Chain A
Amino acid sequence: GQQLNQSPQSMFIQEGEDVSMNCTSSSIFNTWLWYKQDPGEGPVLLIALYKAGELTSNGRLTAQFGITRKDSFLNISASIPSDVGIYFCAGRLNSGGSNYKLTFGKGTLLTVNP
C-alpha cells in the first residue's frame, strides 16, 4: 500500500522560532491535507492543498504541495505555546473504488518552550 514518511518525528523549539515539517510519499497524490491534534482530541483540519505547486497560508501556517506530487511541507512561523500538539499530513489519490481514502503520516510531535 501507499506509504507516507513524515519528518521529523518530534521537535522541541523555543517560543518565537519557526518550524518546518514535511511528508514524502512513495506514490503520487492529488490532495494533501494537514491536521493538528491536541492530546485526547480529534484532529482538526489546518490546510488543504489540491494542485501541484500550490502554496496556501492559514494565519502563521503555510503549506505547499510539492511539484512532484509526492511531497508536502508545513511551516509554522513565530511559534507560540498553543502550537503544541501532533501535526499529521494526509494524502489522497482520486482513483477507483478507494476514491475517498486518505493515507496518514505518523505525525510530528511539536513541543514549544515558553
Chain B
Amino acid sequence: DGGITQSPKYLFRKEGQNVTLSCEQNLNHDAMYWYRQDPGQGLRLIYYSQIVNDFQKGDIAEGYSVSREKKESFPLTVTSAQKNPTAFYLCASSIQSRRGEQYFGPGTRLTVT
C-alpha cells in the first residue's frame, strides 16, 4: 500500500535533548513538508523540500532542522533551541504540480518535560 509513515506515534524527551522524527513516503512524491499543530490551531509550516538535497524554511523554522538525502525520507530534528517543542507533528507529501494536493501521515505527538 502506498502512503506516508511517521514514527514513532508518541515520543517523550527531556528538555535539552535533540530528537529526530521520522517521515517516509512510498508515493513517489517529489515534495515533502513538516507541520506543527497545537491545540485549537491550524497547521503551521516548519520546513518543506521540493527536491532531494534541497529544502526551505517555512513560517516557524527556528529550533528545527531537516535533511533530504533520499526522495522517500524527510526527517525532522527538534533541537534544544526550540522553546516550546511539545506539539503534534505532521509530515505531508505532494507531487510537483499546480494542483497542490498534500497528503498527510498519521503524525507524531512529541512531549518534552
Give chain A's interface residues, CB within 8 Å of chain B.
1, 4, 6, 30-31, 33, 35, 40-45, 48, 50, 88, 90, 92, 94, 97, 100-102, 104-107
Contacts and interface: CB of A to CB of B under 8 A. Distances in A.
Contacts of B43: 43, 88, 90, 104
Contact of A41 (B50, B56, B94, B106): B106
Contacts of A107: 40, 42
B34 interface: no
Contacts of A6: 42
B74 interface: no
A100 B107 contact: no
Nearest to A93: B100
27 contacts: A31-B98, A33-B100, A33-B101, A40-B107, A40-B109, A41-B106, A42-B4, A42-B107, A43-B90, A43-B104, A44-B104, A45-B102, A48-B100, A50-B98, A50-B99, A88-B43, A100-B31, A100-B48, A100-B94, A100-B100, A101-B58, A102-B102, A104-B43, A105-B42, A106-B40, A107-B40, A107-B42
